[in-house]
Copies of this chain bind each other. A is one copy, B any other.
Amino acid sequence: MRVTMEDVAREAGVSRALVSLALRDAYGVSDSTRDRILDVAERLNYQRNALASGLARRTTNTLGVFLLDLHNELFADIYDGIRDVATAAGTELVLSVGSTGGTLDKPGLDALVRAQVEVVVAAGLLLSDKELAPYRELTHLVSVARRVPGADNVVSNNELGAKLAVSHLLEIGHRRILHLAAPSSDGYRGRRRAFSRTMKAAGLQPQILVSDYSRADAARVLGPVLDSTDLPTAVFAHNDQTALGVLDALHSRDIPVPEQMSVIGYDNTSASRPPGIALTTVDLHGEELGRRAAEIALARMDSPDAPPMEETFKPTLVIRGTTAPPAA
């Protein structure tokens, strides 16, 4: 049987109440008894039952974290940022992981609600605004990387990022640019929209292809285009993962990068630095976003009724080896 607070109390010859106080070093416990209690607790390997504790305190002082996909390092970056500030604040995290399809969003969020977290920081939500609405009553939501109406939001300016990427390509002379977009869903249309807008503003025809978030699918989707007669001279991929898929497809057809084809990714994860051919990419500063989201979440714990907070980060273009002027 697990060792309970009662066990510690008995062993130390005091009441449970006193043990409870001593363990959270509250005032009003004499030094000597506190020391004795802590000694006993340590000796018995006592660990407080978080269920009972949270139930009794009517608050868990805990932050829920939802991450869309563990295979995409962007979420590891975001998590690092969140953990950093949560740890400093002494707030525990409760995690839950989704999937690129989005089918695990709901179960994941539900689990966090059931765990009674004070606030949930969700990175990469795929649920529609409508499906997300009920959660506004169940918990406080801080959405990262995706704008959710009515919630707290920590996002990156995707319009700007896409514009940065496309402008770079335009500047070095590209005209036929293909955008490999992610499936269209609420809150994730900024890159695609800015791509189209920027192309049109330059008097060019935007060409868009859609793949899911996986490297393999990106390569697959791009295939037919590469096998056709008139190729684009540059591809702007939705993220680094899919950019890798683009590079795969290109490599398997012996199309040299950047000589015959320029490629730009998005996220600046370490996947964007395959040795030799480092990806030009847009850095959305995941760790920073995570950090800020956690700060907002902590602030939200203190003032549940403050108006929604919103913060938009500016992405930056990281020019590396996969972009060059088009072949003459």
Residues of A within 8 A of B (CB): 2, 45, 47-52, 54-55, 60, 70-71, 73, 75-76, 79-80, 83, 92, 94-97, 110-111, 113-116, 134, 137-138, 215, 244, 247-248, 250-251, 270-271, 273-277
A302 CA to B111 CA, complexed, in Å = 23
Q: Which of A94, A271, A275, A276 has the most CB of B within 10 A?
A: A275
Given contacts A45-B137, A51-B60, A71-B76, contact A251 B275 (CB under 8 A): yes
Min C-beta distance of A241 to chain B, whole Å? 9
Interface residue from B97, B114, B276 paired with A83 (Cβ < 8 Å)? B97
Contact A95 B92 (CB under 8 A): no
Given contacts A95-B96, A115-B50, A277-B275, contact A70 B76 (CB under 8 A): yes
Interface residue from B47, B215, B250, B276 paired with A138 (Cβ < 8 Å)? B47
Contacts of A95 in B (CB 8 A): 94-97
Contact B49 A116 (CB under 8 A): yes
List 18 A-B pairs, Cβ < 8 Å: A45-B138, A51-B54, A51-B55, A51-B60, A51-B116, A52-B55, A70-B79, A73-B73, A83-B97, A92-B111, A94-B95, A244-B274, A247-B275, A247-B276, A248-B273, A248-B275, A250-B275, A274-B274
Contact A47 B248 (CB under 8 A): no
A116 CA to B188 CA, complexed, in Å = 38
Given contacts A51-B51, A70-B79, A71-B76, 8 further A-B contacts (CB under 8 A): A49-B114, A50-B115, A51-B54, A51-B55, A51-B115, A70-B76, A94-B94, A276-B276
Contacts of A47 in B (CB 8 A): 110, 113-114, 138
Interface residue from B45, B49, B50 paired with A134 (Cβ < 8 Å)? B45
Contacts of A49 in B (CB 8 A): 55, 114, 116
Q: Which of A51, A75, A270 has the most CB of B within 10 A?
A: A51
Contacts of A45 in B (CB 8 A): 134, 137-138
A54 CA to B49 CA, complexed, in Å = 11
Contacts of A116 in B (CB 8 A): 49-51
Contact B274 A275 (CB under 8 A): yes
> Across the two chains, which residue of chain B brings its CB closest to A73?
B71
Contacts of A277 in B (CB 8 A): 274-276
> Across the two chains, which residue of chain B brings its CB closest to A110?
B47
A55 CA to B52 CA, complexed, in Å = 6
Contact A48 B92 (CB under 8 A): no
Contacts of A97 in B (CB 8 A): 79, 83, 95
Contacts of A2 in B (CB 8 A): 138
